[in-house]
Amino acid sequence: MAQVVPDLVSLQNPVFRSYLFYCSILVIKMMGMAILTSVQRYKNKAFVNPEDVKSLKIKPKTDENVERVRRAHLNDLENIPIFFVSAFLYMMTSPTEYMAKTLFFAFTVARIVHSIVYAVVIIPQPARGLSFGIGFLITGYMALTTLLHVL
């Protein structure tokens, strides 16, 4: 309660360093989805804007391989930005180093697995459901912990 944050928001705080580390990885991972979308668009010649297909002399169209990557990307948008916030809030509650690092690590691995089984090597359920669920529970746990801490 009497915690002053300077000790928390500092590169000398191992939890904060860990936050920077995993957030960087997750940002790069999300950027990977945009690259993957482009790759699938070119591979399947599936573009959605008329100005994108002018020089290719084809019509705009949608393609299931593109849509799949886009769904995976949207799922990232639904889950990773709230992790960035939830993890930041949680960090302010002075969690133990071990606990915080484990949660950050597990979330990052779960989301990378999620993208792979959704959009790269499609693996039957419950692979995708499980990896989604692990990330989801971690975000929820951190938000709830923060809520109870500041009440």
The residue ranges that bind a second copy (CB under 8 A) are: 1-6, 9-12, 16-17, 20-21, 23-25, 27-28, 30-31, 33-34, 48-49, 51-52, 54-55, 68, 71, 73, 77-79, 81-82, 84-86, 89, 92-93, 122-125, 128, 136, 139-140, 143-144, 146-147, 149-151
What CA–CA distance (Å, rounded) separates 151 from 143? Answer: 12
| Contacts of 151 by beta carbon, 8 Å cutoff, 6+ apart | none
Query: Of the candidates 86, 128, 74, 131, which has an alpha carbon nearest to the alpha carbon of residue 106?
Result: 131
Inter-residue contact 108 to 24 (CB < 8 Å): no
Q: Considering the complex, state which of residue 25 and residue 99 has its C-beta at the smaller distance from a second copy.
A: 25
Q: What is the nearest approach in angstroms of a second copy to the Cβ of residue 130?
A: 13
Q: What is the nearest approach in angstroms of a second copy to the Cβ of residue 115?
A: 14
